[in-house]
Amino acid sequence: MSTPSSPLRQRITKVSYPYVAKLHAAPKLTLPGITLFLALVGVFAPVPVGIPALVLLALLLGWLAFLSWPAVTTGPRFLRIFSILVILLFAVSRIATG
């Protein structure tokens, strides 16, 4: 039995479809490569460059988590939220330490 989705979820899914299709058609290491690149830039680059990279990484993971939310169970949902929070907390930590 499928649950009805909200108009917001339907709209975001529809708008996201072309981008997800391009990611799916890209080589398998494209998304992990983008993720690794943003994480390394966020950790090692100066703060004015690193913070936007971390925010972009959190947004990317949040977008993917939103799209996959109905298909995953509680454990993976927790890990998705936890990883996004850790990235954002690290960004705040980098801002605080300058």
Domain ranges of the chain: 7-97
Q: State the Cα–Cα distance between residues 6 and 37, nearest whole angstrom.
A: 33
* pLDDT tens sequence across 40-50: 999 999 999 99
Task: Assess contact for 84 and 62: CB atoms under 8 A.
Answer: yes
Q: State the Cα–Cα distance between residues 91 and 51, nearest whole angstrom.
A: 6
* pLDDT tens sequence across 43-89: 999 999 999 999 999 999 999 999 999 899 999 999 999 999 999 99
Q: State the Cα–Cα distance between residues 62 and 57, nearest whole angstrom.
A: 8
